[in-house]
Structure 1
Amino acid sequence: MTALADSVADASWTTALRRWNTVCWVLFGAMAVGLVTAAPPGGSTYEALALLGCVVLCYAVLDRRPGNPVVRPQVYLSVLVLALGGLAYLGGGYAALFMVTLPHYWMFGRTPRISMGFLGLAAGATLTGALVREGWSAEFFGETMVSVLIVVAVGVLIGLWAHSVVAQSAERARLIEELERTQAELSEAHQRQGAADERERMARDIHDTLAQGFASIIVLAEAARAGMADDPGRSAQQLRSIESTARENLAEARELVGSAGQPGPGRVVSGSVARTLRRTLDRFVEDTGLAVDADLADLECDQQTRIALLRCTQESLANVRKHARASTVGVVLVRRPYGVELEITDDGTGFVAEESTGFGLDGMHKRLAELGGRLTVTSSVGDGTRILATIPTADESDGAEA
């Protein structure tokens, strides 16, 4: 992250000074042409051209072969400082070059402290050269010194402002990179969570459908084998139940495979919950021979509510068959002001609800919670069990939100 911010800062800094650097070399070239064409031949003209040539040559070497990023720029700035002092000594017009070289101190100084240090050395060399040439005269104090100090002040202000802009750009680049990385991590976390939720949903559906069906098949097969000699008619009925359960399991498996990845809650299918639960209860009575007292209101609700009520009923009946050793089961389905309510009771052995760690009850809790409902389990050893599932319907949910 730091390396990226530094590279962005360097790129922004170089771009900001590139135009000024171009102007600087244009003025250098114009001055060289002016020296050759306008100034009379003499030693000072050739010396000025020689100093300018040294600056150009040093910059060319630096530009072509950057080499060490610390030493070579400082060598070039040192040559530039000496050349400015020599040009100021050779003529008053040459001192103006100090102004056009300002971007070089900030471009090659690398840090504000180094840049201002070389800027101060260049100002001192220019003033020293002018002082040696002009002496302590009014022209030196009134024009040269004031001009150089103004240029130094302007250069410091512009350089510090530019460094501040580059620092802000680097900080923005760092924040943008951090934001993009955070967004990528958040997206990956959402994908992982989505995959985990889908696996949990599939596991719950398999447990509530296929696993319960296979458990029923095993119980029926054991009962049919045990009663084959004494009660062939009963065994034949149990075999037919095994066949029906296996076909239903096959249909459930196909439905699970076909609906994988499809959004279920958005599809609303009207239908009678009572008829669906009645078929489940009839199959339970046929398989177990237990007495079932059912009071099922004829309700119309969406598909997800129907599925949740059906799965809660199937899981509760499966627990009664496997654990309760009950003789009677009661099922009540009613509509309340706050939604749909399903109550399943049995007179079996019961259990300690707080100590239950089964996947079935936990799955019912989560399935109802996804629909904004809740599951209440009341049981104690020897007193049977009461399962109460409550699901708010669409009208009640809208009314609660309002």
Structure 2
Amino acid sequence: MLTARWWDLAAIVAASVIVVLTLIDPPYGPTEWGAWAAAGAFLVVYFAAARRLLPVGELRPYLVVAILFAAVLAVGTAFEPAFAIVQAFIYPFVWTTAPTTRSAITANLLVAAAIVVGYAARSGPMGLLTGLGVAVLTVGFSIALGLWITRIAQYGEERARLLDELQAAQGQLAAMHRDAGMTEERGRLAREIHDTIAQSLTGLVMVAQRAGNRLEAVDGAAAASARGDIELMEQMAREALTEARGLVAALAPVEAEAGLAEALRRLAVSFERETGVAVSVSADVSGLDRELEVVLLRSAQEALANVRKHARASTATIEVAATGDDVVLTVTDDGIGPGEAQPGEHGFGLAGIRDRAALAGGTFDFGPGAAGGTRLRVVVPRADAASPTGGAA
């Protein structure tokens, strides 16, 4: 709007200059009246048609406006040669609003031809020569300056585009570094837990078993009480060890570069080797966004950690399928079922899955399976695979 107001002011000033120049030398006759009428017609053309082209017009209306400006300029110059000063407004305007460089040059040539016609109509052959001289100088300067400014504008637009691409690449690189750091930290925590807490709990279980075996040779009420305490210690140590191993499994990085299906199969093989629970995988989707793959993979990983800790299952199933615009992850087992468990009630596993799904714009459902056991279901919208972004692994 500010640019349009400046053009409004420039048009009014150009017309006013013409009026002032013709008012300087009275008396006034048909020449002055014609120049005033042409100045008025110039303002009408600008405010009624040309102003609508700002900031850049369409080709057909642009050419119509250029022809109207040329006609007004020719008529005004025929009445008063000083009217040619209006070209100081017309040339920049047709360059600024031109949809293409070719149309801008065409409009410049129309304006130059109007100058020649106006001078020729005013003074005959001598006017023709004068008009040609004026037109050549003005149109040459206008085209040279316009092409130069256009080149600068194109260069600026190219720099802006390259800067946007650079900033986008820097953002993606920063996200990749951040994700790599998160993955490395998860791996470090998993190793620390495995090498410290899990090993200590394993040793505690072995010591409790050994103490229990020694107490079997001792009779008496005190020995029976001590044996009960040791069995309780062993049970608590086993439960804590199971929790620690589940935490290690949940934190351990699983690479998704080979694709979601392959990453899920590796996860299933590792889980089956550690727990003895047979896990089958069915993942028929492809071309998913990297971030979406990570969300589904982490959800499956935490779901299996929940199976390890609570389900007491012998088999589990992981299924990933596309339904319309959504991708659905379903993890089921044949264990004891969820009971009254709710996300976030006894730990962070289910709450983490729910939060991951929510961040991806999806939903989370946890409850008993149709044939017993537990069913966990995550539904997330399918992202555009054509614009991948890094996700936390």
- TM (norm. structure 1) is 0.50
Q: Percent identity?
A: 26
Query: Contact 1:39 / 1:45 at 8 angstroms: preserved in 2?
Result: no
Q: Distance in 2 between matches of 1:81 and 1:38?
A: 26
- How far off its partner does 1:111 sit? 1.6
- How far off its partner does 1:19 sit? 7.3
- How far off its partner does 1:184 sit? 1.6
Q: What does 1:110-259 align with in structure 2 at a 5 Å threshold?
A: 110-137=99-126, 140-141=128-129, 143-230=130-217
Q: Distance in 2 between matches of 1:149 and 1:231?
A: 121
- The answer to whether the aligner puts 1:69 opposite 2:57 as a matched pair is yes
* 1:94-147 deviation line (CA, Å, top 9, x unaligned): 23433442101101222211111011011112212222332223x542x33112
2:94 corresponds in structure 1 to 105
* Equivalent in 48, 58, 62 of residue 45 of structure 2: 58
Query: Contact 1:62 / 1:73 at 8 angstroms: preserved in 2?
Result: no
Paired amino acid for 2:57? P
The worse-fitting range, judged by mean Cα deviation, of 112-121 and 91-100 is 91-100
Q: Distance in 1 between matches of 2:75 and 2:218?
A: 124
Q: Distance in 1 between matches of 2:193 and 2:181?
A: 18
Paired amino acid for 2:110? L
Secondary structure of the corresponding residue to residue 101 of structure 1: helix
- Name which one, 1 or 2, has greater alpha-carbon Rg: 1
Q: Distance in 1 between matches of 2:77 and 2:101?
A: 25
Q: Distance in 2 between matches of 1:118 and 1:168?
A: 23
Query: Contact 1:85 / 1:129 at 8 angstroms: preserved in 2?
Result: yes
Q: Distance in 2 between matches of 1:58 and 1:159?
A: 23
Structure 2 unmatched runs, 5+: 245-393
Distance 1:164 1:65, change over 3 A: closer
Paired amino acid for 1:69? G
Secondary structure of the corresponding residue to residue 148 of structure 1: helix
Q: Any runs of at least 4 consecutive aligned residues in structure 1 with deviations exceeding 4 A, and if so which?
A: 17-25, 62-68
1:44 corresponds in structure 2 to 31
The worse-fitting range, judged by mean Cα deviation, of 31-40 and 193-202 is 31-40
- TM (norm. structure 2) is 0.51
Q: Distance in 2 between matches of 1:27 and 1:55?
A: 9
- How far off its partner does 1:35 sit? 2.3
* Equivalent in 64, 72, 84 of residue 95 of structure 1: 84
Secondary structure of the corresponding residue to residue 41 of structure 1: coil
Q: Distance in 1 between matches of 2:15 and 2:179?
A: 63
Secondary structure of the corresponding residue to residue 214 of structure 1: helix
Paired amino acid for 2:152? V
Q: Distance in 1 between matches of 2:50 and 2:122?
A: 33
Distance 1:188 1:169, change over 3 A: same
Distance 1:230 1:213, change over 3 A: same
Distance 1:64 1:167, change over 3 A: closer
Paired amino acid for 2:172? E
* 1:58-99 deviation line (CA, Å, top 9, x unaligned): 222347656993244433322111011112222332234334
Structure 1 unmatched runs, 5+: 1-10, 254-402
